[in-house]
Structures are given as structure tokens and as C-alpha cells.
Amino acid sequence: MKRFIIGALALQFTFAQTPEYLNKQIDDMADRLERKVIDWRRDIHENPELSNREFRTAEKVAAHLRSLGMEVKTGVAHTGVVGLLKGGKPGKVVALRADMDGLPVKEKVDLPFASKAKGVYQGKEVDVMHACGHDNHVAGLMGAAEILAGMKDDLPGTVKFIFQPAEEGAPLGEKGGAPYMVEQGVMNNPKVDAIFGLHAWPGKVGTAQYRSGPTMAAAERMRITVTGVQTHGAAPWGGVDPIVISSQIIMALQTIMAREVNITAVPGIVTVGSIHGGVRNNIIPEEVVMEGTIRTFKEDIRQQIHESIRKKVEMIAEASNATAKLEIFSGIAKVTYNEPSLTEQMLPSLRRVYGDENVMIRPFVTGAEDFPFFTDHAPGLYFFNGVAEDPSTAYSNHSPYFFADERNLKYGVKSMAQLAVDYLFLNQ
């Protein structure tokens, strides 16, 4: 207890080292930049791009960072942009990250800047939308970059701005996202000491949510191919129906979390989100392909779920004289883990931006992120920035109706700038 009290007093003392005039400069600059940040966000929202295809967005970001006098690298992990801002004094290196890609979703929000963009996803032309709020992330970090560039002579250290492609997952057969950025050295030269990121979330505007330790789930992609025997739909006994077998597999998978895993420990998810088979109403096809996602927080539960899926898929298929192949693609996203000591150290920064009562602990999030590939190399803090006027009626991320109240942008700008400044001063 004595050690805790001394540590808390030391933290309070060191936090006061951040010059008050820099805090005020962040506030003043964020107010002045708000209109510009909104305009950037609207332009990016109207022109979304799919993973590994963020060419226009990357050009916009790179041009802005160059205009601020930064060292800028482009083409990192295909379309990523990295800006380096060297402060006027030696010190630590802090990284701020924003993801840039949109989703293959048709926007249904009635906005004057609603997306009408098209793209190619898995070989098909699709509508594209910033249905996960990454347009807010990009515009907000561009604003934070402008604020920090304006005070660089006062900064005791370096800020690295990471604009990341393909957070939603690279197209099959391509490298991408945070793992590829790390592979290409983004966490080195100079080596990053801590990294911060945020996510637009349908919480109330002006609030932030965080969780120390495990925060977001690990994500894996699952593909199940069921092969039967094609026959006439009027004579099903002449073949083996993979559609019926697939439906049995889907229903069986729902029992894994409901009946086999102790969900009082940590949550988990098994979802089938896509099923394709057949080309005509009166033909039973030879093959059905299903795709889905697995979300976990603990390795032992992850292995338990894998084994259960495999048994169900293979045994149900065999019982009906079909064959089934299960593929699980790991390495998409690991558990997002907020380093507890860093989280505790930086909470005063969030409270300064949002207010004490508006910074809240949130439950586990079964959504996933590839941010943990960065935190394999430096401690990190990942938090959630509220973007809804009324959370009770707000649509979730990835919905065609997802909408971000633009008042959220100033909070995102301020929080990222404040975290960077406070971290550098706290860790001189």
C-alpha cells in the first residue's frame, strides 16, 4: 500500500511537468482546426478506398505531412504513410496510428457527402463505405499532426505518425495491415517507445472508453467447404446435398459458445457470415462454401473452439456421406492488450480532454484490431472515442447506417496530441 501511495504521488508530480502553455496550445489549435478537420473527414468519407487500395487517401495524408515539414515515407506496406516529427529536444519516440481503409458496404446514410464509390472485392465490383469510422481516424490524426508540428521546438522527443492501410484485412493472397508495416520496419528507425491509437465507437460524443489489459478479441477467418454429389433437385436421393449438410453444420456451430465454453470467464464468438452454393433452383449443387469469424481472448479457449469446430464439420459431413474441409486463417488480429502501467500513466491525459466523469472503463470488445502487431514491439494504449449523439439509437460499426457525429473529431484531435505531448514529458 505504501509503495502504491508513493507511486501515485510521483505520477502526480511528473504529470505536472507538462507545460501548461502546451496544454492550452493544444486546446486553442484544436478549436481553430476543427473546420479544416471536418472538411478533410468529409472528403475522405466521400472517397473511401478498400484495403491495400488507399491510393488517394495516402496521397492526401502525405501531402499534408510534407506541408508540415516532416520526413515522410510513402508506399509502406503498399499504401501506408509514415511521418516523422523530430522535437527540439532529445527524448523518447511516441507513435500515433490511424487506419485508412473502407469496407465493401453500400452507404445508406442520407448525407451530402455520402459515398458513391465502387471498388473490387474478391473479384467482384462492390460499393465502398467508411462504415467503420476510419475517415474520422485519418482526419483526426492529420489535425493532431498539425498541432504537434506547431510546437515541435518544445517537444522532448520524436513523434511518429503511422497511417496504416488494410486494417480490415488484406485481400486474400496479399500481405497487408499492421503485420506488414511492422515487417517493413515501421516500429524501428527510430525505435518506438510507446504507441497510441483510438477508434470511433457509437458511444456518446465527448466520452472515451478504455480497458486495461485484454481489450479487444483475437480474430480468425474461417472457411468451410462442403462437397457432396450434384443431382436433380427433383430427385435428391440421387446425390448428396451439401446445402442441407451446411445448414446442419451452421446450427451445430452455434452450440459451441452456448453449451461448451465457460463464458463466465471471457467471451468468445463463432459466426458464419457468408454461405454460397448452387446456381439454379432445381439443381442440388456439388459444393457449398461458408466463411465466418472466430473471436477469442484466451489461447486455451481458442484451441478448444478450433477442435470443436473441426469435429463438428468433419463428423456431420461424414454422417451424410459428404466431405468437408475446414480452413482457419490466423494472424489477422491478436488480442488487443493495453499495457496496464502505461494505461494508468496516460489516464490523466484522457481525463483532461474528456473530463473525469466522461472517461469510463468498458467491457470486453469482441470486435478485433490489428493494432496488437504494433504493441508486440512497444507498449500501447488503444481507446474508444464516442461518435454518437444518442448511443441508444446509434448503428454499430460496419452497418450501412453507421454515422459519426462530427463533433467527435475535435476530441480525437485533442486526445492524440495530448497523449503524445504528455508521454514525452512524462518519460524524459
What pLDDT is recorded for position 12?
Answer: 45
Residue 174 has pLDDT above 90, yes or no: yes
Question: Region 99-121: what's the mean pLDDT?
Answer: 97
The set of cell numbers assigned to 269 is: 464468438
Q: Measuring CA to CA, which residue among 268, 274, 317 is closest to residue 292?
A: 274
What pLDDT is recorded for position 1?
Answer: 44
* Residues of the chain above pLDDT 70, percent: 96
What pLDDT is recorded for position 18?
Answer: 84
Q: With bands split at pLDDT 50, 70 and 90, how would you rate the model's confidence at 421?
A: very high
pTM of the model: 0.87
What pLDDT is recorded for position 259?
Answer: 95
| 252: number of Cβ within 10 Å | 16
What pLDDT is recorded for position 6?
Answer: 42
What pLDDT is recorded for position 109?
Answer: 97
Give the span between the Cα atoms of 65 and 310, in whole angstroms.
48
Question: Region 143-159: what's the mean pLDDT?
Answer: 98
What pLDDT is recorded for position 265?
Answer: 86
Give the pLDDT confidence of 67-103 residue by residue, as tens digits.
999 999 999 999 999 999 999 999 999 999 999 999 9
Residue 193 DSSP class? S
What pLDDT is recorded for position 13?
Answer: 41
Give the span between the Cα atoms of 179 and 372, in whole angstroms.
9
Give the pLDDT confidence of 39-68 residue by residue, as tens digits.
999 999 999 999 999 999 999 999 999 999
Cβ 219 vs Cβ 402: under 8 Å:
no
What pLDDT is recorded for position 182?
Answer: 98
What pLDDT is recorded for position 14?
Answer: 43
What pLDDT is recorded for position 178?
Answer: 96
Average pLDDT of the chain, as a whole number: 95
Q: With bands split at pLDDT 50, 70 and 90, how would you rate the model's confidence at 360?
A: very high
Residue 261 has pLDDT above 60, yes or no: yes
How far is Cα of residue 239 from the mean position of the Cα atoms in its chain?
Answer: 44
What Rg value do the Cα atoms of the chain yield, rounded? 24
Beta strands at 80-86 and 71-76: parallel, antiparallel or unpaired: antiparallel
Helix axes 55-67, 20-46, angle to 10 degrees: 150
The half-sphere exposure of 124 on its side-chain side, counting CA atoms within 13 A, is 5
Cβ 356 vs Cβ 347: under 8 Å:
no
The secondary element (H helix, E strand) that includes residue 204 is strand 194-204
Residue 5 has pLDDT above 60, yes or no: no
Question: Region 267-290: what's the mean pLDDT?
Answer: 97
Q: With bands split at pLDDT 50, 70 and 90, how would you rate the model's confidence at 177?
A: very high
The CATH class, in words, for 218-332 is: alpha beta
The set of cell numbers assigned to 407 is: 463533433
Q: Measuring CA to CA, which residue among 5, 117, 11, 112 is closest to residue 57?
A: 117
Residue 4 has pLDDT above 50, yes or no: no
Question: Region 26-30: what's the mean pLDDT?
Answer: 98
Give the span between the Cα atoms of 32 and 428, in whole angstroms.
29
Q: With bands split at pLDDT 50, 70 and 90, how would you rate the model's confidence at 11?
A: very low
What pLDDT is recorded for position 362?
Answer: 95
What pLDDT is recorded for position 333?
Answer: 86
Residue 340 has pLDDT above 60, yes or no: yes
Q: Where are the domains positioned within the chain?
A: 2-211+362-426, 218-332
Q: Does domain 2-211+362-426 have CATH number 3.40.630.10?
A: yes
Cβ 388 vs Cβ 200: under 8 Å:
no
Give the pLDDT confidence of 218-242 residue by residue, as tens digits.
999 999 999 999 999 999 999 999 9
Cβ 225 vs Cβ 285: under 8 Å:
no
Taking phi over 0 as left and psi of -120 to 50 as alpha, with beta for the rest, 25 belongs to: alpha
What pLDDT is recorded for position 330?
Answer: 87
Question: Region 279-297: what's the mean pLDDT?
Answer: 97
